[in-house]
Amino acid sequence: MNYGKFAAVYDGLMEDIPYEEYVEWVASHVASGKLLDVACGTGTLSHLFAEMGYDVTASDLSEDMLTVANQRFQKANQAIPVLQLSMDNLEGLTGFDIVTIAIDSLNYLQSEEQVQQTFKEIYDALNPGGHFFFDVHSVFKVDTVFMDSPFVYDAEEIAYIWHTEPGQASHSVIHDMTFFVRQNDLFERFEETHEQRTFPIEIYTKWLEAAGFSVESVTADFTSQSPDDESERVFFHAKK
């Protein structure tokens, strides 16, 4: 997906995401190592992992997102390699101790085959004993919470109207967003359409195990608790 202008406003929209808690979750299991941050977006998480001492490589499919990420890394004097890759085609990357796919990025894959191929690619990229961390929207969030649109956000520099509708596949959603971004005394309007899909926890678990992983834990909503019927974000920790 080409995010276009969305990359420029992404950080402002994600300011409520507790990235530090994500780093703490990973660090509580693996304190150091060579880390691949897949679907890194604008590089916020990659930056934090590098600050913690991890040897970070960042990848994303979007050139626009990677441009913003590179600017972040350069400003922080961080020598983080940046690769433009799809998560289901990591082009033979190997030798990593940790792989992350954070903040529901996996949900942008539209087919079962793409998710399964991604798990295989990540398994191959990891060293023996390596760790895989990712999170996804729950079925409840996609089927119920997202359907309570429209959502409206209004801040000094940016506003948006966000409509959702069910996608064609089960447990999928189409996000139609109209943004208004301040440019001096005027607001520039642009539109984005994003599609996401999720699967039940047992399906993700089955695919992880089929790829060769052992599933170490499944938790919910930035806690150590197991998911329930109304959990919105599900976290997986798997091991090669």
pLDDT at res. 15: 63
Does residue 108 carry a pLDDT above 90?
Answer: yes
CATH class of 141-196: mainly beta
The two three-digit tokens of residue 158, written as one number: 């940016």
Among 15-24, 92-101, 110-119, the minimum mean pLDDT is found in 15-24
Report d(CA 140, CA 134) in Å as an integer: 18
Mean pLDDT, range 201-218, rounded to an integer: 98
Residues 120-171 pLDDT 10s: 999 999 999 999 999 999 999 999 999 998 988 887 778 888 899 999 999 9
Q: Are 146 and 164 in contact (CB under 8 A)?
A: yes
Average pLDDT of the chain?
91
Dihedral angle over CA of 208, 209, 211, 214, nearest 10: 90
Domain 6-138+199-239 is found in CATH 3.40.190.10 = no
Buried b (16+ CB within 10 A) or exposed e, 5-26: ebbbbbeebeeeeebeebbebb
Sheet bearing 96-101, strands edge to edge: 82-84, 55-60, 34-38, 96-101, 126-137, 233-239, 214-220
DSSP per-residue letters across 119-164: HHHHHHHEEEEEEEEEEEE-HHIIIIITTS--EEEE-SSEEEEEEE
**Domain boundaries of the chain, sorted by first residue:** 6-138+199-239, 141-196
Report pTM: 0.91
Residue 14 pLDDT level (bands cut at 50, 70, 90): low
Q: Is 141 left (phi over 0), alpha (psi -120 to 50) or beta?
A: alpha
